[in-house]
Chains A and B, each alone.
Chain A
Amino acid sequence: MDSRLVWLGLILAVLARPAPAEDLPYVYTKWKQFTVENGLPDDHVFSVKSDGRRVWVGTENGLALIDKRTWKVVRVWREEDGLPWRVITAIDVDPKTGDVWLGMFGGGLARFSGGRFDHFHQLNSGLVNNVVYGVAVENDNVWAATTAGASRYNTVTGEWTIFTEKNAPMEEIWNYGVHYRDGKVHLAVWGSGVLEYDVKTGRWKEYLDPDGEMEIDLYRDDGIVHVIITGAAYVENTLWASSYFGASRYDGRHWRGYYNQDSGLPSDFINNIRARSANEAWFATDKGVGVITDYKTNTWVAYTMDPKTRRGRAEIYRDRELLKTVDMEVGIPHNFIINLDLEGNDVFVATSKGLGVGIGEDYYAGLRPVRPAVAGGGQ
């Protein structure tokens, strides 16, 4: 054989060898969208809660129920159907009883059980205020984050307790969110950072910005990035917090701040947050969803929607370096993200133009080596 042919073959063989693998996160590429066209009562989706085969959707004009078996909106409740107030800003489900608790913006709290709405507002109950931003079920108690403090309702004794600056380290009483997990309740407070309540001891702990009221992060990673906190989540002994000026993570020892300029956050203006683990958290921003998928390497996935093509896009970042872009026919329905939920491998994104549901087929946590030729999904 001609030796030139042999050398050519060898060279081609080397060139044809696959490119080296890169550690990349899972990217959600299977999305469903729900709008008024699918039966939602309104496109402004303020809250979402996945509970087994049910997805509860709170909108500006009513409550909807999606059945995961068919992925259809099976029922809608408006005020004429008995819903006490049309604007649903928060939803949680009592895992023991299945009761659905609704926080309503100007309407107080409602318990939805067996088709009956029980309405608790500031005139007929001990709820401190009707403007409810967040709700969380904690054992036999239901917490409500309101604009005038936090209320806790003991469903066994019927006792209402109000937490304000009188009995909690609450410098401002405008509560934006409440979250319960692993024996701790976390309040996200406008102007008062994150307040942590230990259920067992009844003691409070506050997380404030050591930089004070400065609008810049004077020293990096010295505490929460700002005192205007919009959401908090606690999982695996790790506190995640969102603000209008970035995000924070605290593992009990080290703080870490995140901004759009040095991470995959689409924007520093974050409305809410859900955390899956100490390693992964989802941020609802005004410019898309930012997901930190691997804390150690600061790897992110930013989900957005192209307003011109309406196609979905997922961008993988490490620090602020764009590693990969994944184009999708269907992604999140809008970039203004108001709320989120995570259940199992699926994600639920509440936006100002409908609900997006990301199906986590073959989901994996953290990073996996992925060859560049493989596209989307499980990579």
Chain B
Amino acid sequence: MKARIFFFRAILAGVLVAAAAFLAAAPREPVYVGARACGGCHDGAGMGYQFSIWLHSKHSRSYAALAKPAAQQILQLSGLRGDPQASATCLSCHAPAALAEPWQKEEHLRIDDGVQCEDCHGPGSEYMAEEVMRNPAAARAAGLKMPTEADCMRCHIVKGSHVAVLALPAFDLKTRMEAIAHPTPENAKMGGLRLQTADGGAKRAGPKYVGVAACNQCHRGPESGHQDSLWRLSPHARAWSTLATPRAREIAKSKGLEGDPQQMAQCLECHAPGALAPSEAVLSSFSPDEGVGCEACHGPGSEYMAEAIMRDRRAARAAGLKEVSKETCLPCHRQAHGKQYELKIEAIAHPTRPAKRASAAEEPRYKTPVSLALDPRGRELYVTCSGSDSVIVVDPIARVKLAEIPVGQQPHGVVFSPDGRRVFVSNVFDDTVSVIDAAERRVVATLEVGDEPHGLITDREGKFLFVLNAASDDVHVFELGSLRRLKKLAASRRPWAAALSPDGARIAVSHTLPRLVPFQTPPVAEVTIIEAARGIIEDRVVFPAANLLKGVAWHPSGEYALVTLNRTKNLVPMTRLLQGWTITNGLGLMWADGSTDQLLLDEPDWGFPDPNAVAITPDGRFALVTSGGRDRLAVVDLAKMMSVLRQASPYERRHILPNHLGKPTEYVVKHIPLSHNPRDLLILPDGKTAVVVNGLDDSLSVVDLERFEEVGRIDLGGPKEITKVRYGERLFHNAGITFRRQFSCATCHPGGHVDGLTYDIEPDGVGVNQVDNRTLRGILDTAPFKWNGTNPSLARQCGPRLAVFFTRIQPYTPEELSAVDTYIASIPRPPNRFRALDAELTPAQRRGKAFFERSKTNDGREIPVGNRCVTCHPAPYFTDRRTHDVGTRSPYDTYGKFDTPQLNNIYDSAPYLHNGMALSLEEIWTVYNPDDKHGVTNDMTKDQLNDLIEYLKTL
């Protein structure tokens, strides 16, 4: 019996030992441990004060620098919104560890340490042990990296946004490397960061030092005036690390003190007062390297730090919170080291509720109205204002503004429920719909919808709400009563606006991007027809050779619907603009049987650029169309238009009329000048008045439909001064720069984004050197421009080149060019919908990240550094801003090296590659990378490629 028990115990022990060995042998994923973990060894005289050198450098303040007003300006010039300290783009250089997943960060890692050790040397959990560190080969195998110049230049490469704001001298890498150099000395002796770092012994009663990190858990971010960052930027934060400098040793010596100033009480008394506290008065969260931290002035915080106490001033004082006066400062600063000291408390002031700073980054906030809707009673207009994130309520009869309701970011579409009780507003930046109670004029609910919601519509019975999501190419259908999402319908590309047929049976949905078509094929645009009763797709009507379908309206007879469109001849070189060679603008007719016609609104000697919206008078006689690029409204006599169609043969209707510039004069009876960038419009129920949104004038035009002239303007209350950005925005949306006003910048870049087309621009042969249209969102820091990378700046891109190849008249003046470029730099890029900052990656995304960063193939072969994804596509913009030959040159190209495109929100800009020949991300590698020149991918299995795609979507 005993033998049996012994036998089983031996077996069990063996199993446990084997399991432990197995687990020990399995490689662990390295995680970030934080600079202070490194500093535990890498500091002090014996280690060349490595930690202190870092703490004294700008790297340690890089996160705090994002709290400066300049950072907000740079953020805007990078096409971003919000708080720079919460922006993945900013953090990828200013605090890279912030972008790691939560599980990759140990609790002592502090993001406010900015660019810290592991951002250059790699996550340290597996190499930090002394026995590993002392073995260079083992340390490298465990993840220790020695950064190269290329690693530095990934962040320090010149960026237009930073140059525009900071006016810093050119970055001299060699000089800067010397400034941050922290070599390990010969005969290095590991020093201590801490004089006392652990909770030592029994704690005494009374206040104890908790450390800046504890204070910063609450006193951080814009809500608290960035108190944490203000301290970090101040010399107080470097007071301890400055004791490691040669100057400090000189001063100490001059006072007859020998040794390490960081260990001397005489120095620490002022430079790190908390370091002198006995161990019983210090919690483990405190670190002496914080120098003159919060508690050096405000007193040890353990008793007053709780929020309930902090909010009670008297209680906080009773718990030890000290008021700060010059008496707090002077004992250390009076005659310190022979320096004259003038007390300027405002230099380090960090009020909890700062006065609103007149920041240079603050632009006047224009309304920038977009769409409008009339309540079913006909008494109120709701106007969405994308610039002010609000909805303005207007009395269309009295022509006065009644109210302004805050909604989400960049509101676009607006629709009333059929009973008029609720108003739905799409918020493009938030991916939400605000539900407004019309009686109370406030938001009562917010719906999560798809990506970049634009148009909205309900059915007549009030059963469904349809939300058009432009970036996810779908329509979300909600039950209007419960606001429960029922389903998602597959639309075409970038659904934009919707209109309900007169009988309430069908909803026509327009799309600004054409369908994806094979390479070198003309575009095909779609109007999706939804059956309103059941909320399903009924039909898809195509308009050949058309794109940018925006406004849509049904004729009261129900026989047809009108849709605004462009006809872009993208497959022939842009050799001229005469006679509509490049882009023409017009209307599409979609008949009830699904057949279509197209007619122009341009005339031979001048264009009707950017037709944005269309409305038809209740009597069906006239259609009104806004021209965003020409600041006017066209009046179309529909009877005459029908006559033109009837008189034409089927061949002429199909092949001649869509390109016939001579026909519009037969049915366009008037052009009514309006103000800057007319967008949406509607006709009041009596048919006598139209109201038009002037997007860049913050006003509504009131048009008399009997006289066909503007008779009034409603001011929405925006700022009156025109800033440079606003001026640039107006120029961008105006066709004044093009010959015969054919198109504006916004024509090919609606919303500052893409039109989904590839273009044959230069006169080098038909079909030669076609290039895919690229986004303008957040591009300032991605120079050079143009697919062959030959334009070093936006000024070059939008200056003479624009005139030579595109607009064909005199270019922008220097002032205009500067304004346009400033505006382009401010065009925002929406948040990535696949991964929020600090969110965990999904397992597939995590696997894909590993592939993106891999250095070996599946069978263990080394991938050359130049052929790894992450080499050419490093954060934050995932471009190294160089040209490379990735094997994608086609027989139609005269060159083979292309500028590396940025990958932010890459999911939203199909097609891909320089000429748009890859219709999906997959095709980049399944079809167009046969020789592994665009990264090594041919060894990957299909599921590995899927994972890579999932990760790319998070960038």
Contacts and interface: CB of A to CB of B under 8 A. Distances in A.
A118 B539 CA distance: 14
A113 B942 contact: no
Contacts of A207: none
B922 A111 contact: no
A98 interface: yes
B946 A114 contact: no
A125 interface: yes
A118 B844 contact: no
Given A123-B927, A126-B922, A162-B942, A114 B488 contact: no
Contacts of A161: 844, 946
Contacts of A125: 920, 922
Contact of A118 (B490, B528, B534, B834): B490
B487 A97 contact: yes
A126 B949 contact: yes
Contacts of A115: 539-540
Contacts of A118: 490
Given A114-B540, A164-B943, A166-B943, A159 B844 contact: yes
Contacts of A160: 946, 949
Contacts of A114: 528-529, 537-540
A148 B538 CA distance: 34
Interface string B206-231: 00000000000000000000000000
A99 interface: yes
B135 interface: no
Given A160-B946, A161-B946, A162-B946, A124 B920 contact: yes
Contacts of B922: 123-126
Contacts of A111: 490
B542 to A, nearest CB: 8
A162 B943 contact: yes
Given A114-B528, A116-B540, A161-B844, A128 B942 contact: yes
Interface string B110-150: 00000000000000000000000000000000000000000
Given A99-B490, A140-B488, A126 B942 contact: yes
Nearest to B946: A126
Interface in B821-865: 834, 844
Contacts of B538: 114
A96 B920 CA distance: 26
Contacts of B492: 116
Contacts of B943: 128, 162, 164, 166
A96 B539 contact: no
A122 B528 CA distance: 27
Interface in A112-134: 113-116, 118, 122-126, 128-129
B521 interface: no
Contacts of B907: 158
Contacts of B540: 113-116
A97 B537 contact: yes
A156 interface: yes
A111 B272 CA distance: 68
B739 to A, nearest CB: 37
A123 B924 CA distance: 9
Interface string A135-176: 000001000000010000001111111101010000000000
Given A99-B537, A114-B540, A124 B490 contact: no
Interface string B901-935: 00000010000000000011011001100000000
Nearest to A125: B922
Given A97-B488, A97-B490, A122-B926, A113 B946 contact: no
Interface in B853-893: none
Contacts of B950: 159
Nearest to A129: B942
A124 B923 contact: yes
Interface in A80-127: 96-99, 111, 113-116, 118, 122-126
Given A98-B537, A116-B540, A126-B942, A155 B923 contact: no
B489 interface: yes
B343 interface: no
B486 interface: yes
A16 B291 CA distance: 115
A271 B227 CA distance: 72
Nearest to B488: A156
Contacts of B923: 123-124
B506 to A, nearest CB: 11
Contacts of A156: 488
A128 B922 CA distance: 12
A280 B776 CA distance: 61
Interface string B525-536: 010110000101
Contacts of B927: 123
Given A124-B923, A161-B844, A113 B490 contact: yes
A124 to B, nearest CB: 5
Interface string A343-379: 0000000000000000000000000000000000000
B919 A124 contact: yes
Nearest to A99: B490
A114 B489 CA distance: 11
Contacts of A158: 907, 953
A293 B620 CA distance: 62
Nearest to A166: B943
Nearest to B945: A126
A67 to B, nearest CB: 15
Nearest to A160: B946
Contacts of A98: 534, 536-537
B897 to A, nearest CB: 26
A196 to B, nearest CB: 21
Contacts of A123: 922-923, 926-927
Interface in B465-490: 486-490
A99 B487 CA distance: 12
Nearest to B530: A114
Shortest 8 CB-CB contacts between residues of A and residues of B: A114-B537, A96-B487, A98-B536, A114-B540, A126-B946, A123-B926, A162-B943, A116-B540
20 contacts: A96-B487, A97-B489, A97-B537, A98-B537, A99-B537, A111-B490, A113-B489, A113-B537, A114-B537, A114-B538, A124-B919, A126-B949, A148-B942, A156-B488, A158-B907, A158-B953, A159-B946, A159-B950, A162-B942, A162-B943
Given A98-B534, A99-B537, A156-B488, 20 more contacts: A96-B487, A97-B488, A98-B536, A98-B537, A116-B526, A122-B926, A124-B919, A124-B926, A126-B922, A126-B942, A128-B943, A129-B942, A140-B488, A148-B942, A155-B490, A157-B834, A158-B953, A159-B950, A161-B844, A162-B943
Interface of A: 96-99, 111, 113-116, 118, 122-126, 128-129, 140, 148, 155-162, 164, 166
